[in-house]
Amino acid sequence: MIKNYIFSLAFCFCASFSIHSFSQSVDDISFMTENYPPFNFVENNKLQGVSVDLMVEILKALKSTQTRNSIDLVPWARGYMNVLSKKNACLFTMTRTKERENKFKWVGPITSTVFSLIAKVDRHITINSLEEIKPFHVGVIKNDWGERFLVNSGVDVNKLDSLAGTNVILRSLQKLDLKRIDLFAYSLNAVRWELKKNKVSQLDYESVYTLQKSDVYYAFNKDTSDELVQKFQLALDTLKKHGGHQKILNQYY
C-alpha cells in the first residue's frame, strides 16, 4: 500500500512537472521584431502590424502569460544574430529562403510579400534582368533577404550600401533622394507604408524590377523543441481556419 502511494505521488509530480515545463517553454520564448510595416511597426506608442497581432492571438491560444508588451523591437541585424545564437528565441517577420532553411525552425506562412528594386521616378532607370543591376549602387538592409539575394546573384558587394540600426527604410529612401544610392532593395509593401506614414508622395518612387515574391514566417532558434514549434504552428493554422488570420490581414491591407 505504501509503495503504491509513493508511486502515485511520484507519477503526479512527474505529470505536473511535465505540464509546468511546457508552460515555461512557451513563456520563456524571447520574441523580437523590427520596424517592417505593415507586418511590424510602432504607431501611437503601440507595437502592431499583421505579424504582431497574429502572434498576440497565438500567445492567447497557447495560454501564455506573454503579451504584446513582451515583444522587443530591435534592429534587424541584432535580432538576426540573437535568434541564431539564443535558444528559445523567435524573430519575425522573416523571409524563408533556401539559404536560411536549416538555420531556423519555421512557423507560417504569415502572408506573402513582393521584393522589388525601388528607384526615384525622375531617374528614369529601367532594369530587365539581374545582370543590368550590376552598374548601380543598391541600398540594402544588413543581413536582410535583399542583401543576401543580391550577393548570391553575383552583385558586387562594393556596389551594395548596407544599413543597420533603426528607421532603415526611411533612411534608405532619403539616400535615394540625395542620389547616394540608385536603387533600394526591399519589400514594396513596406516602402509604400513608410511613404504613406511620412506623407511622402508615392508617385515620386517606382518599382523598376521585381526580385521575388516570397512568403514570410516566424523564425525560431533551431534548438527550440519541435513540439513547441508545432504548438505555434497549430495555433496559427487554427486562426486561419476560423477567419482570425484574414480579419487581421484586412486591418492592414
- pLDDT in tens for each of the 253 residues of the chain? 444 444 343 434 344 333 444 444 789 899 999 988 899 999 999 999 999 999 999 999 999 999 999 999 999 999 999 999 999 999 999 999 888 999 999 999 999 999 999 999 999 999 999 999 999 999 999 988 899 999 999 999 999 999 988 889 999 999 999 999 999 999 998 899 889 888 999 999 999 999 999 899 999 999 999 999 999 999 999 999 999 999 999 998 7
The pLDDT score that the predictor gives to residue 25 is 78
Q: Would you state the pLDDT for residue 144? A: 87
Alpha helices, DSSP H only, in the chain? 2-27, 50-61, 76-85, 145-152, 168-177, 188-197, 226-241, 244-252
Per the listing, cell 507595437 goes with 47
**Whether the model pTM is above 0.85:** no
- Tell me the C-alpha distance between 243 and 3, whole Å: 52
Report residue 242 as a C-alpha cell. Answer: 476560423
- What pLDDT is stored for residue 15 in this prediction? 40
Residues 131 and 142: their CA atoms lie apart, in Å, by 22
Number of domains into which the chain is organized: 2
Asked whether residue 21 falls in the same domain as residue 59, the answer is yes
* 102 and 127 co-located in one domain: no
Give the domain range for residue 177: 113-214
Same domain, 104 and 224: yes
Same domain, 23 and 77: yes
Residues 132 and 151 in one domain: yes
The CATH code of the domain that includes 181 is 3.40.190.10
